[in-house]
Amino acid sequence: MFKPEGPITKSTEDILGRTTFATRLADAIAKWGFKDSLVIGLYGTWGTGKSSVINLLKEHLSTLESDNAPTVIEFNPWMVSGQKQLLSHYFEQLAVELEIQNQETLDEDTAAKLRQYAALLLALPGRSDLQGVLENILSIGGLISVVAGLIMQGLSVTAWGIAISVFGVLLIVARLSGNLLEGIARYYENRAILGKRSIAAKKQEIVDDLKRRRRKLLIILDDIDRLSENEIKELIRLVKVNSDFPQTVYLIACDRTIVEKHLEDKNKAISGREYLEKIIQVNFDLPQTRRSRIEKYLFSQLDEALERLPSGWQKYFDQSRWANLYHSGFKDFFPTIRSIKRYTNSLAFHLSMIEKEGVLEANPIDFMAIECIRVFCPEFYHYMRENKELFAYIDSETMSDYGHRQREERLRLLKEGLSNIPESQRESIGEIVKWIFPGCLDNTICGGTWVSTWNKGLMARSPDYFDVYFSLTPGGDEQGL
């Protein structure tokens, strides 16, 4: 029953009809006839299927004749952090893939050149390295100046004071003699290397090799919107600097809004959108999926989960009540296949906990609704669990002022609880609450005459059954364990 939340890997798993789009995009890349490079953006929010489309694209490319199919290289920046590690990992990944796939005679030689090119780039000292050296040198100079100044002013400087100062200088020198001095040594050694071989010359050798390749390179960068702000900036900069490699197509899949936000110039000299548009030459938005396709998949997964219940569960499943719940707020939490898998995996597991010796102890509709809140809005789930008196109560059937004040206070506290959850979820959660806990949000009287109906339906609205939904312990509660 449990469905992996990862992307699909082949067209036979495509239930959203994305294969046609992926195939056409793959063909467009394969037929790109210019020698220049191309940077393509594939935009979509998290969980909408960018990685699945990429897998469908790769599947189609693998069916093309060898002369038309590009050499596909997937670069995963998740394993590294920092500019130098990112740069080193990037070129190493290109080199390794060229060696492994070895689709053309020049590839092994090109791989070696890529490693040499990366080594030359890494030889250049970064700003932070030089700044660290400078700060330490200034610290030494400052400390020596203080001691010298005291002596020149004729102030009494004890032997201990001089010793402590000298010891401080020695500590700083020792610090410099560690990693920083080693870095300085590497820097001068690399300068000697640079004097013999130009970065530009080495890059030109790679360019010449790529021009002679029959196949294009397709470099795929997926999920970059999950990186930190600095990592996104470094990765986009890396693409920008190397986007002039001929016969190379970059495919960048990301949430455009997130990436643009991270690329925003703090001085407002250029917007994140403008910066990204300077890099991305062609962009595509992920095709909109018809709601009917998503609903069909959701219903199939719900049916599969419910079939795990003991026989006879259908008598507690009022189709009219379910339809009202679904269209009120429940459906709002399932915009993507990933959200459906996340929910139904959890539902299938927890449904096994609401039966005891083959007897159902909770209403399946109520349980699905509360599980939806637990998975997608845990803050309000915990609020419900801790405030039973706001959801499972019995009103006095009299119209007394006292009863009215009680209802008004419950309503105030419930609305206060809703106000503490994300605004984007507030209305949908409120609608679910209205259907599962009638009377709570409309201030109507729900007296003792309703209790038998609630109990007969195993409903969460009943004070006798409310705890079952939150303890996940059939016939008892957590405190009774």
Domain-by-domain residue ranges, the chain? 11-104+213-285, 127-195, 291-480
Rounded Cα distance between 181 and 129, Å, is 11
Structure tokens of 362?
């909770």
pLDDT of residue 124: 55
CB proximity list for 99: less than 8 A, separation 6 or greater: 107, 108, 111
pLDDT of residue 11: 95
Rounded Cα distance between 381 and 116, Å, is 56
DSSP H helical ranges for 312-437: 319-328, 337-351, 364-376, 378-386, 388-391, 401-419, 423-436
Rounded Cα distance between 258 and 249, Å, is 23
Rounded Cα distance between 428 and 424, Å, is 8
Question: Does an H or E element contain 355, and which?
Answer: strand 355-356
DSSP code for 479 = G
Contact 339, 297 (CB under 8 A): no
Spell out the per-residue pLDDT of the chain, length 481, in tens: 556 667 889 999 999 999 999 999 999 999 988 888 999 999 998 888 999 999 999 999 999 987 789 999 999 887 676 677 888 889 999 999 999 999 999 999 999 999 999 888 887 554 444 444 445 544 545 545 554 554 555 555 555 555 555 555 555 555 544 555 555 555 556 556 545 567 888 899 999 999 999 999 999 999 888 888 888 988 998 898 888 899 999 999 999 999 999 998 777 778 999 999 999 999 999 998 889 999 999 999 999 999 989 888 999 999 999 999 999 999 999 999 999 999 999 999 998 888 888 889 999 999 999 999 999 999 999 999 999 999 999 887 666 777 778 888 999 999 999 999 999 999 999 999 999 999 888 877 787 889 999 999 999 999 999 999 998 644 444 444 4
CA torsion through residues 352, 354, 359, 360, sign: negative
CB proximity list for 476: less than 8 A, separation 6 or greater: none
CB proximity list for 435: less than 8 A, separation 6 or greater: 321, 324, 325, 328, 369
pLDDT of residue 427: 96
Rounded Cα distance between 345 and 1, Å, is 7
Enter the pTM of the model. Answer: 0.74
Residue of 405, 91, 317, 73 whose CA lies nearest to 218: 73
The residues with which 249 forms a beta bridge, in sequence order, are 38, 218
CA 220 to centroid of chain Cα atoms: 17
DSSP code for 310 = P
Rounded Cα distance between 318 and 338, Å, is 27
CB atoms within 10 A of CB 301: 21
C-alpha neighbours within 13 Å on the C-beta side of residue 463: 10
Pairing of strands 355-356, 71-75: unpaired
Q: Kindly provide the b/e burial profile for residues 258-273, where b requires at least 16 CB atoms within 10 angstroms of the residue's own CB.
A: bbbebbeeeeeeeebe
CB atoms within 10 A of CB 402: 9
Burial of 12 (0-12, 13-18, 19+ CB in 10 A): exposed
Q: Which CATH number among 3.40.50.300, 3.40.50.970, 3.40.190.290, 1.10.8.50 corresponds to the domain 11-104+213-285?
A: 3.40.50.300
Rounded Cα distance between 380 and 370, Å, is 10
Structure tokens of 379?
């803050």
Treating both helix axes as pointing N-terminal to C-terminal, what angle do 319-328 and 423-436 enclose, rounded to 10 degrees? 160
What is the three-class DSSP state of 442?
A: coil
Residue of 361, 282, 272 whose CA lies nearest to 316: 361
Q: Kindly provide the b/e burial profile for residues 320-330, where b requires at least 16 CB atoms within 10 angstroms of the residue's own CB.
A: ebbeebbebbb
Sheet strands (E) in 209-322: 217-221, 248-254, 282-285
Say which amino acid occupies 370.
Answer: I
CB proximity list for 393: less than 8 A, separation 6 or greater: 410, 446, 463
DSSP code for 473 = -
Residue of 44, 75, 76, 60 whose CA lies nearest to 253: 44
CB proximity list for 348: less than 8 A, separation 6 or greater: 1, 2, 304, 305, 308
Question: Does an H or E element contain 238, and which?
Answer: helix 229-241
CA 287 to centroid of chain Cα atoms: 20
